[in-house]
Amino acid sequence: MSSFARKIGVVVIGRNEGDRLIRSLDSVVDTACTVVYVDSGSTDGSCEVASGRGVEVVNLDMSVPFTAARARNAGFELLREKYPQVEYVQFVDGDCEVIEGWIEAACETLDANPDIVAVCGWRRERYPQKSVYNRICDVEWRIGSVGNISSFGGDVMIRAGALTNVGGYNSSVIAAEDDELSVRLRQAEGKILRIDRDSTLHDANMHRLSQWWQRAKRCGYGYAQVSYLHGNLPERKFVKEVRRALMWGAIAPLSALLLLPFTYGLSLIIFGRYPLVSLRTIYQTRQQGFLWADTLAWGLSCGLSVFPEAVGVIKFHRDRLSNKQFQIIEYKNSQTPVLKGNGEKGTGNRGLEMGI
């Protein structure tokens, strides 16, 4: 165990993560004074696997809709209650493995920079070559800059005191909960830093167009919800993204089709926008040094994602106006072995994953 372990707690969240949870837990159990696993209704033996590794387990009440934010809060509350000496909390999704040396590097960064309240690195995809959708995720994780940034993702180390001061995550936010928390941390005069170091390996396990659609739909929902919370000046968080999704994912294409009889087909010119966006994104991404296979996948995704994002934006406002409880939009539903408490495998159905 590292010399930093006494001041660090780790919160891992997940639901039916299978072998990915084993890799996730094994990557952190010896790096912190304690590890808390928060489970959202798993049926694959995840809780038994975690307990067998000496990890604190929190089972969320299944009568309340699950969200990643709610799970992280539950883990953090247990840390603060039982281990008040913890200064820094590393949050990890159960489909991610923390890379060796990251915990120490993040802790050193926070020790050396008292004005920094959260530090993150680069997430990488474990199997980008297995599907075009995995490639899209791998590029997404690496798009950004090093240094002071406006927001972090699900794998981040945060000062416990700063997180407590802003009231933790917003449990009602079903997507982009990290962006929402980032806004409040910055508003409290905290700074967020990305260091040029890989932090986690993520296993998206995406192989179908329907999964990509659901994930992009969830992104649009997150844009709309966080924009509703923080869309006013001076933040204007995700206002541009919501407008883009509605304009090019709904208004423009529908208008082009409705005007088709009156414009002798000229209104279809609007659809030329989508390949142009893809080509521009491909060029820009290639200029950053990405491989051709990565740039093509990312460019096509960016050009077409406005359609499911628009569906997500509309769904959020429909839920809001009808006072419907916000519920997570999940994109995975595959088969996986059921885990036993000792890490052995049986057979059974894999449930839906909470992951990012």
pLDDT surpasses 50 at 354: no
Model pLDDT, residue 343: 47
Summarize pLDDT for 267-301 with one digit per residue, the tens: 999 999 999 999 999 999 999 999 999 999 999 99
* Range(s) within the chain of domains with CATH label 3.90.550.10: 5-207
Q: Where are the beta strands (DSSP E) in the chain?
A: 8-14, 34-39, 56-59, 88-93, 96-98, 116-125, 147-149, 156-159, 191-202
How does residue 356 score in pLDDT terms, banded at 50, 70 and 90?
very low
Provide the token pair at 265: 């087909």
Confidence class for position 335, pLDDT limits 50, 70, 90: very low
For residue 234, is the peptide bond before it cis, meaning its omega torsion is within 30 degrees of 0? yes
Helix crossing, 209-230 with 132-142: angle to 10°? 30
- 65-102 pLDDT per residue, tens: 889 999 999 999 999 999 999 999 999 999 999 999 99
19/39 Cα distance (integer angstroms): 15
| Assigned CATH for 5-207 | 3.90.550.10
Q: Is the pLDDT of residue 31 over 90?
A: no
Looking at the predicted structure, is the pLDDT value of residue 326 above 90? no
Instruction: Output the CA–CA distances (angstroms, integers) from residue 159 to 9, 188, 205, 354, in the order listed.
Output: 10, 13, 31, 24
Q: Write down the pTM of the prediction.
A: 0.89
Question: Which three-class secondary structure state does DSSP give residue 59?
Answer: strand
Give a three-class secondary structure readout of 184-231.
HHHHCCCEEEEEEEEEEEECCCCCCHHHHHHHHHHHHHHHHHHHHHHC
Residue 331 or 337, more confident: 331
Average pLDDT for the chain: 91
Q: pLDDT-based confidence at 348, cuts 50/70/90?
A: very low
Question: Has residue 349 got a pLDDT over 80?
Answer: no
In a 13 Å sphere around the CA of 224, the CA atoms on its Cβ side amount to 24
pLDDT for residue 339 = 59
Q: What span, in angstroms and rounded, lies between the C-alpha atoms of 300 and 101?
A: 35
Residue 47 has pLDDT above 80, yes or no: yes
Decide: 329 and 314 in contact? Cβ < 8 Å.
Answer: no
What percent of the chain has a predicted confidence (pLDDT) above 70?
92
Q: How many CB atoms lie within 10 A of CB 289?
A: 9
Alpha-carbon distance values, 182 to 12, 170, 284 (Å):
19, 11, 27
Bridge partners for 38 per DSSP:
13, 58
CA distance readout (Å), 283 to 128, 134, 292, 301: 20, 20, 10, 14
pLDDT surpasses 70 at 109: yes
**What is the C-alpha end-to-end distance of the chain, expressed in Å?**
29
Cα torsion for 41, 35, 150, 175, to the nearest 10°? 0
Whether 50 shows a pLDDT value over 50: the answer reads yes
pLDDT, residue 344, reads 44
Question: 200: buried, middle or exposed (CB in 10 Å: 19+, 13-18, 0-12)?
Answer: buried
Reply yes or no on whether the pLDDT at 3 is more than 70: no
Cα dist from 260 to 170, 180, 205, 247, 274, whole Å: 45, 41, 40, 18, 18
* Tokens, residue 307: 């359609």
* pLDDT-wise least confident of 79-83, 108-112, 246-250, 343-347: 343-347
* Alpha-carbon gap, residue 27 to 103, rounded angstroms: 10
